[in-house]
């Protein structure tokens, strides 16, 4: 509905509830958008590709286009349900730590790496899980990369379901994690003598 009035045209600032523009309100808005940048620093994996490290960084900062974030930007979405399990909200914390699919992936990674069962409540917990394990420096570095690659592959499965309607299969996700992990670790680290059969039995050997 369009209304007419005799008042003069004016600009309104939408960054503050008062609709009044001020340097203070701009600064407040900028600080709100930067929440977490200083306190949620992600340590990058030295051997995982940049695309996977950037994904991990954006996940911890909650800067990925989930339904939750699209709605905050006033973008209409058909559903807010998780595309992987259909039972939770499509947030990055749910996708990486609360979803049935991701839980099964972390369970299989735990068995594969012969470490205690991975439990997490947020994407930040997932990215830091390696530091809480009773492992040597080399094993922690390998596990860190595997976790980042696993998270990136789970996100990729979610996007394949959304854009190409490809059904999610745990075995496909795990196959890619193992294959890509082996390829990248062997060629992007100093562990050049990595053997496929040993890797498949236990990635942290």
* pLDDT tens digits for range 125-157: 999 999 999 999 999 999 999 999 999 999 999
At residue 36, the pLDDT reads 46
Residue ranges in the chain whose pLDDT is less than 50: 1-2, 35-39
Closest CA to 181 of 97, 112, 134, 127: 112
At residue 26, the pLDDT reads 72
Compute the distance between CA of residue 192 and CA of residue 70 in angstroms, rounded to an integer: 42
* N-terminal to C-terminal alpha carbon distance within the chain: 68
At residue 10, the pLDDT reads 67
Domain boundaries, given as residue ranges, for the chain: 7-36, 43-201
At residue 205, the pLDDT reads 79
At residue 71, the pLDDT reads 95
At residue 186, the pLDDT reads 96
Helix-, strand-, coil-residue percentages of the chain, each rounded to 5: 55, 0, 45
């Amino acid at each position: 509905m369009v209304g007419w009035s005799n008042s003069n045209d004016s600009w309104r600032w939408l960054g503050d509830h008062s609709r009044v523009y001020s340097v203070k309100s701009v600064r407040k808005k900028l600080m709100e958008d930067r929440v977490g940048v200083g306190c949620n620093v992600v340590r990058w994996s030295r051997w995982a590709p940049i695309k996977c490290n950037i994904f991990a960084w954006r996940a911890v900062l909650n800067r990925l286009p989930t339904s939750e974030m699209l709605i905050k930007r006033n973008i209409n979405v058909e559903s807010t349900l998780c595309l992987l399990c259909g039972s939770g909200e499509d947030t990055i914390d749910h996708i990486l730590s609360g979803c049935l699919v991701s839980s099964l992936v972390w369970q299989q990674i735990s068995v594969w790496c012969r470490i205690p069962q991975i439990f997490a409540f947020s994407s930040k917990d997932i990215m830091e899980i390696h530091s809480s394990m009773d492992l040597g420096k080399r094993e922690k570095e390998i596990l860190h990369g595997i976790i980042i690659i696993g998270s990136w592959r789970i996100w990729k499965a979610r996007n394949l379901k959304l854009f190409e309607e490809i059904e999610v299969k745990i075995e496909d996700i795990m196959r890619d994690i193992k294959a890509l992990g082996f390829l990248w670790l062997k060629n992007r680290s100093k562990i050049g003598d990595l053997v496929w059969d040993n890797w498949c039995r236990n990635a942290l050997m």
